[in-house]
Structure 1
Amino acid sequence: MSKDNQQEQEIFTNAEETGTEEELEQEVLEEEQSEDNELEKLKQEYDELNNRLLRLQADYDNFRRRTMKEREADRKYKSQDLVTELVPVLDNFDRALKVDVEGDAAKGFIDGMKMVYQQFKAALEKEGVEEIKAEGEAFDPHLHQAVMQDNDENYDSNVVIEEMQKGYKLKDRVIRPAMVKVNQ
Structure 2
Amino acid sequence: MRRHHSMQDETTVQAVQEGETVSSPGEPQVAVPAVSEELEQLKGEKDQLLDRLARLQAEFDNFRKREAKERQDARDYTVSSTVEPFLGVMDNFQLALKSEGSVDQLRAGVELILKQMEDALRGLSVVPVESVGTQFDPRVHEALGSVETKEFPDHQVLEEIRRGYKIREKLLRPALVKIASNHAVVSE
> Which TM class, normalised by the smaller chain length?
0.3 to 0.5
Indicate the structure (1 or 2) with the bigger Cα radius of gyration: 1
Q: TM-score, normalised by structure 1?
A: 0.45
Q: TM-score, normalised by structure 2?
A: 0.44
Q: Which structure has the higher relative contact order (CA within 8 Å, separation 6+)?
A: 1
Higher helix residue share: 1
